[in-house]
Amino acid sequence: MDSTDLLDRVFPGRRGELKRAILRQALQCFNASGIEATTIENVRAACGASVGAIYHHFQSKEGLVAALFYAALDDQERLREQYLSEADSAEAGVLALVHSYVDWVDEQPEWARFVLQARAAVSTGPFKDELVARNRQRNKKLMVWMGEHGGVEHFAHIPAELLPSLIIGQAESYSRAWLSKRVDKSPRHYRDLLGSAAWNSIKPQ
């Protein structure tokens, strides 16, 4: 998969064509120069759209960052839900969460790299309330799924807000190392080990 596939999924059809073109170049600019150093003019020069068109669709640089960030989260969620739909137990659900995360990072390294650098900017910027709402909704959906598959009883000893971090934390830490080129092997190479480690860290004793 490449970034075009992701943007086509999140902004499909001809009406989304200009948005996709702007976002595609914005992603490259942010990853190449960093969010703080990149300007709207840099993005305009890269994509050929007018400044007016960029502001019309995204309002600001912060809007561009948020649009990219939430497009990535939507695509992550798409894959997560696909994997969860094939899981039939709490343990299988934990493995599905870890496997979907590392597989997405492996398939979309440029997007994953952007998400890691953009999270702080989005969480403290003008679109932070949307991030809070999305996180709350995602965690709620996860708890509903776990409840339907016996997970609530399994994980009653763990605070609900802590559970996602315990499940994904080790995979995210290794993914950061891979994306920053501190390790050579993709997190996908270790998906089974990372999944087992997540399950072993939270399963009832």
Percentage of residues of the chain with pLDDT beyond 90: 55
Q: Give the model confidence (pLDDT) of 4-54 as tens digits.
A: 588 888 888 887 788 899 999 999 999 999 999 999 999 999 988 888 988
Low-confidence winner among 101-115, 136-150, 170-184 (lowest mean pLDDT): 136-150
- The residues near 64 (Cβ < 8 Å, ≥ 6 apart) are 22, 23, 26, 40, 43, 54, 58
Amino acid at 167: I
- The residues near 99 (Cβ < 8 Å, ≥ 6 apart) are 83, 191, 195
pLDDT of residue 1: 45
- Answer whether 134's CB lies under 8 Å from 73's CB: yes
Domains of the chain are: 3-202 (1.10.357.10)
Number of H helices, E strands in the chain: 11, 0
Q: What length is written for the chain?
A: 205
